[in-house]
């Protein structure tokens, strides 16, 4: 059942750039505490603009945004950053200190923590992200994967209630994606709310329960991922492609193998095919 008071309430916001190009058109959205959501759509759909309205980096020209029941238009970016943490697509856009330790310390400077509490938090977060050995290294001497970890760590250490990722799996290898998946599940278990902008169809289809599709600055679909991303009309309208499992199901259907509608995940497909082959071989 949907919460009576959503954690995030976006009410008919619009935003246009100085050249009168609309990035957001009549956007309304509710996000409840503890949700895990992907926002998807073609380049220029308005995804990144939308998430930047949530911490005040972009102010809508019309409409209102409420977080925890409070209208945010009068709140500063610094105030909102205590509740909403955004990890940008390019980690270098948010890293600027001389060392990793200083980066984390700076991120926590407005949290009213003692020096000892900050030190303890830094030790914990460095171990959690396997960055301890780089404590005194410049962020600009890290690999791409390590820099992305540090950017995430610099937000996680502030313990915001809402965590927003912009293309978190871009350029990440399988090990790094597994680390990220474990991280977001741990944060959800703590009661955090996570919203991510991504083009990674397969990651979203396998792991994210709710999806918001955007096109031309508008929300064109909002619902369960398995339902939205198997709708060919919606997927095409948002310039995406069907998940590989769905394409595979269609291929099997063309050769006479009907796959049950409830099979969406890779492991479920593997189990189905194993059973199908066992039955088929037993009849031969």
pLDDT tens per residue across span 154-177: 999 999 999 999 999 988 889 999
Domain contains 274: yes
* Residue whose tokens read 């610099």: 154
Under the banding of pLDDT at 50, 70 and 90, the label for residue 2 is very low
In degrees, rounded to 5, the angle at the alpha carbon of residue 67 between the alpha carbons of residues 24 and 20 is: 20
pLDDT above 70 coverage of the chain, percent? 98
* Least trusted range by pLDDT, from 36-45, 90-99, 125-134, 157-166: 90-99
Domain contains 261: yes
How do 210-215 and 218-224 pair as beta strands?
antiparallel
Residue 21 pLDDT > 90: no
Of the two residues 219 and 44, the one the predictor is more confident about is 219
Average pLDDT value over all residues in the chain = 92
Domain contains 162: no
Largest interatomic CA distance in the chain:
73
Residue 264 structure tokens: 């969406």
Q: What is the pLDDT of residue 283?
A: 75
Residue 142 structure tokens: 């890290």
Q: What is the pLDDT of residue 20?
A: 80
| Domain extent for 257 | 243-284
Domain contains 124: no
Under the banding of pLDDT at 50, 70 and 90, the label for residue 96 is confident
Domain contains 252: yes
Strand-by-strand arrangement of the 70-71 sheet: 22-31, 8-16, 62-67, 70-71
Domain contains 141: no
Partners of 153 in the β-ladder: none
Q: How far is CA 109 from CA 99, 115, 272, in A?
A: 15, 10, 53
Number of domains in the chain: 1
Q: How far apart are CA 23 and CA 44, in angstroms?
A: 8
Partners of 210 in the β-ladder: 37, 224
Residue 62 pLDDT > 70: yes
Q: How far apart are CA 229 and CA 232, in angstroms?
A: 7
Residue 261 pLDDT > 90: no
Q: What is the pLDDT of residue 145?
A: 86
């Amino acid at each position: 059942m949907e919460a009576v008071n959503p954690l995030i309430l976006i009410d008919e916001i619009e935003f246009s750039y100085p050249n009168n190009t609309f990035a957001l058109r009549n956007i309304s959205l509710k996000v409840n505490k503890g949700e895990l959501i992907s926002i998807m759509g073609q380049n220029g759909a308005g995804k990144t603009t939308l998430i930047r309205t949530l911490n005040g980096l972009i102010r809508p020209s019309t409409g209102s945004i409420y977080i925890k029941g409070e209208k945010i238009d009068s709140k500063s970016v610094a105030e909102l950053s205590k509740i909403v943490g955004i990890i940008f697509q390019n980690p270098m856009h948010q890293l600027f200190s001389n060392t990793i330790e200083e980066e984390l310390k700076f991120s926590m400077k407005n949290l009213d923590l003692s020096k000892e509490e900050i030190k303890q938090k830094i030790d914990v977060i460095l171990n959690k992200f396997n960055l301890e050995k780089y404590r005194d290294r410049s962020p600009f001497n890290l690999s791409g994967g390590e820099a992305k970890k540090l950017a995430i760590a610099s937000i996680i250490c502030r313990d915001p209630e809402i965590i927003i990722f912009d293309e978190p799996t871009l350029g990440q290898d399988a090990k790094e994606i597994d680390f990220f998946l474990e991280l977001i599940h741990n944060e959800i278990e703590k009661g955090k709310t996570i919203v991510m902008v991504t083009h990674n169809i397969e990651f979203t289809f396998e792991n994210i329960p709710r999806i918001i599709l955007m096109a031309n600055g508008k929300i064109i679909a909002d619902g369960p991922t398995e339902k939205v991303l198997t709708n060919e009309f919606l997927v095409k309208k948002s310039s995406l492609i069907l998940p590989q499992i769905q394409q595979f199901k269609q291929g099997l259907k063309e050769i006479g193998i009907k796959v049950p509608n409830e099979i969406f995940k890779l492991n479920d497909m593997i189990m189905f095919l194993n059973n199908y082959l066992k039955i088929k071989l037993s009849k031969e």
